[in-house]
A and B are shown apart, each in its own frame.
Chain A
Amino acid sequence: MSARLFRILSAALAVVTGLYFIVPTMVVFWISFTAATELTFPIRAYSVRWYERFFDSTQWAQATITSVLVAVVATSLVTVLGSAMAVGLARGRFKGKKLIVLSVLAPVLVPPVVIGLGMYVQALKLQIVGTFSVLVMAHAALCLPYVVLNVVTSLRTTDETTELAARSCGAHPIRAFVSATLPVIVPGLLGGAVLAFAVSWEETVISSFLATSRTQTLPVVILQQTSYDLDPTVAAAASIVTVISFAIAILFAASRNLTGTRLRKKKNELA
């Protein structure tokens, strides 16, 4: 096989794979602009009425606010706690460290249905089902591995002696961490935060266990609506969720490049 043919074939494969992933999403986008009252395609007439319906509905508005609030609070919480935990895991030497690492990774390994059920049973006992706090706590637990893993990875590129150097220069240990280590791990930390936000934003299964009608998040409402009736507002809502998820993905990519760009800029200034 010639190199040229190989290149063309592999490009074609990449396009097909891409389409495979993106077409179902595109279909949802497409349907969301239908003028009809059912979730069917192809579409005969276009309209934005389902988006209007989405923005007019108090149920959807409530769900959007809940989703954003839960994601923001859970992400903030988990970024601070997860970073602190990452520093402990990357730098500390203590017994049972491997066990802690494993338990941090649990949310990635255990099926969401199992986690959801477990949390539901406990929340019932504590009588906190349907509260905002229990949603935040559940989401934070799910997001923890993404922050911890990202920050641990970027801590590997730092050098602890730089912190010792800062302390010998007269900096309090906390200031030494902030000035020597923090700037180096900020991209990893931001990346972890963005991923955490995305995980919380898209989380469906566990939230359906824990939410009541007052505290349903967007994905939960979408799932519920889909099982009752196929009102195209669901497609509009799903499209909005997806657009925001894409925006987050772009943010994540940008945060990965942050330091690289900054260093390059500095270099150009000097040249």
Chain B
Amino acid sequence: MSWLSLDRLQKRYGSIVAVADSSMDIEQGEFVTLLGPSGSGKTTTLAMVAGFIRPDGGRIILNGADITSVPSHKRSLGVVFQNYALFPHLSAFDNIAYPLRVRRLPSEEVKRRVVETLEMVDLGAFANSLPHQLSGGQQQRVAFARAVVYRPEVLLMDEPLSALDKRLRESLQNVLYDLARQLNVTVLYVTHDQEEAMALSDRIAIYRNGVIAQIGTGEDLYRRPKSLFVARFMGDSTILPGMLLRNGASYAVETAHGVFPAGENVDDEMCGGEGQAVSLVIRPESLRFAAPADGLPRLKGILRQQVFLGPIRRVSVELANGSILSARVPSTSQVHAELNQPVEMSWNPREAMLVPHDDDRQEDAGKFNGDSLD
């Protein structure tokens, strides 16, 4: 049996459904990230696990016990908030000691564990500092220390790094990654940043409109998305809308740019069979400058930009219908075209991904990263 189970969690606010169905099973020591655009239900789900919000339906099972109606302070939780939420009048030491003192541990024990935890987050020298005397990164490390000092059964983190600048965020990602695994604590982590999710998590649950669109490892979601939404949310891509064709044993997609093989992950159940509206998704790193007669599927266009970025070259190609295809090719590969001259980009058909047509992409339009070519 899994360590933490969310069983069909639901939350409504009046007529607005914040969470329609949140279900997942999490193993002990697993790091699971809830990823999604704002308003997709990820933070509400976290708040229900924390006990800050009472679900309208469903159950939360932790370590074999139903904690759905257990108040927050009686769940064994650690919570890290985006804005740190430290006690402003208490020193770093007293902040971290708080959960131990609430649990009436002897003062020797409190001191030993706080000092140990301060060392763990590399803040041994700041025990007596008040929160406002610490930098944002240091405050968040104090908040992390306060959340783990009593070894909670689950650690919940709500966008803990999004108030920090990019460089600090990346270095703290490494700190969080190492500490979470070193402590072997079960983590539920909320973010809207898919790179952060991939950097930290064992598994990622992508939320959309209050339901989990897909759950899996970062690579699963990136390479084998089950929907256009997931494909786009996990990273940039070139998207070719079209119609599914059956070609003997294999499938192909008829698009405005030609007919292309449909990749490997196609089955009737997923795409609804021949004649269905689908999209072919090609990641930027799958594209190459086409070699003559290499037999690979290809798109023709005009080379508009190619920028050397060290390990890769960023390439923009304007296709016949005016839309832009973006590619990231290894910088060691040959450039077969001059700027503003015709060029052909090819890809390995096994790396292209097929997803069903998405009806309501309007509402999430602002959150998409990919350039649609329709």
Contact = CB atoms under 8 A, between A and B. Distances in A.
Given A170-B73, A171-B73, A172-B73, A162 B130 contact: no
A270 B52 contact: no
Contact of A270 (B98, B103, B128): B128
A159 B85 contact: yes
A118 interface: no
A165 B88 contact: no
A179 B130 contact: no
Interface string B129-144: 1101100000000010
Interface stretch (B75-83, B300-308, B353-361): B75-83
A169 B102 contact: yes
Contact of B85 (A164, A259, A269, A270): A164
Contacts of B327: none
A131 B130 CA distance: 50
Contacts of A167: 51-52, 71-73
A91 B207 CA distance: 30
Nearest to B103: A170
Contacts of B77: 168
B79 A164 contact: yes
B73 A162 contact: no
A199 interface: no
B190 to A, nearest CB: 14
A183 B91 CA distance: 13
Contacts of A266: 130
Interface residues of B, number: 32
A184 interface: yes
Interface in A126-172: 159, 161-162, 164-172
A245 to B, nearest CB: 31
Contacts of A162: 85-88
Given A171-B102, A172-B73, A270-B128, A166 B79 contact: no
Given A266-B130, A267-B133, A270-B129, A166 B89 contact: no
A263 interface: yes
A88 interface: no
Nearest to B52: A164
Nearest to A160: B85
B83 A169 contact: no
Contact of A164 (B72, B89, B103, B143): B72
B319 interface: no
Contacts of A267: 130, 133
Contacts of A269: 128
A154 to B, nearest CB: 12
Nearest to A161: B85
17 contacts: A162-B85, A162-B86, A164-B79, A164-B81, A164-B85, A165-B146, A168-B72, A168-B77, A168-B156, A169-B98, A169-B102, A169-B150, A170-B74, A171-B98, A173-B71, A180-B87, A269-B128
Interface of A: 159, 161-162, 164-173, 175-176, 179-180, 183-184, 259, 263, 266-267, 269-270
